[in-house]
Amino acid sequence: MPEPAASVRIEIRVELKPGVLDAEAESIEKSLGLLGIDHVRRVTTARIYDLEFGDVASAEAERLAREAVDRLLANPVIHRVTLHPAIP
Amino acid sequence: MPEPAASVRIEIRVELKPGVLDAEAESIEKSLGLLGIDHVRRVTTARIYDLEFGDVASAEAERLAREAVDRLLANPVIHRVTLHPAIP
């Protein structure tokens, strides 16, 4: 029986750049105040995309993940992106 | 001059439970295929909420973060939540 092909997972974290209005975070800050959940100084949000690749080496998976970021997942004008390998 | 009060950051990761339809992930899988970005076996998404607390001990910050999750940030029917301290 052939060994199952190894998979590579890349976790992509997309955040807003500092200075870009994070409307969701502002709304959460306001809501936490209304709920009486105090001591919150700041809220920031981020989006995680976890891409699992099959039948590729990790370097190629990372290249594909960067292509996905550039062409689909992030806007370089407003987003800061970090990639790192995730545990399969 | 008084020392600035320490801050505690808690990172909250909200994911869909296995079996709950992740429409955004499905749409991304489809789009990656259309863009010719191959070898993608699976996409999952998650939302990060980074809460910075001031003037509280880390145990109290964690308690407040869990309260924020329960009352505002997640729905226990569909979401799986993990909390961990973030570097300030």
pLDDT tens readout for residues B5-16:
579 999 999 999
- Residues pairing with B54 in the sheet: B7
What is the arithmetic mean of pLDDT over A38-56?
A: 97
Tell me whether residue A25 is in a domain.
yes
Which of A8, A24, A26, A44 is the mutation pick for testing B, counting most B CBs within 10 A? A44
* Chain B, nearest residue to A69 by Cα: B32
Number of domains forming the structure of chain A:
1
Tell me whether residue B60 is in a domain.
yes
For B21, phi then psi, to 5°, come to -60, 125
Tell me whether residue A64 is in a domain.
yes
Tell me whether residue A1 is in a domain.
no
User: From CA A42, how far away is CA A87, in angstroms rounded?
Assistant: 30
The CATH number of the domain where A67 resides is what?
A: 3.30.1280.10
* Residue B36, amino acid: G
Which domain range does residue B74 map to? Answer: 7-86
Q: Is the dihedral of CA A79, A80, A85, A87 positive or negative?
A: negative
Q: What is the pTM of this model?
A: 0.90
CB neighbours of residue A36 within 10 Å: 8
Residue B86 confidence class, pLDDT cut points 50, 70, 90: confident
Q: How far is A74 from chain B (nearest CA, A)?
A: 12
What is the arithmetic mean of pLDDT over B20-35?
A: 98
pLDDT of B3 over the 90 cut: no
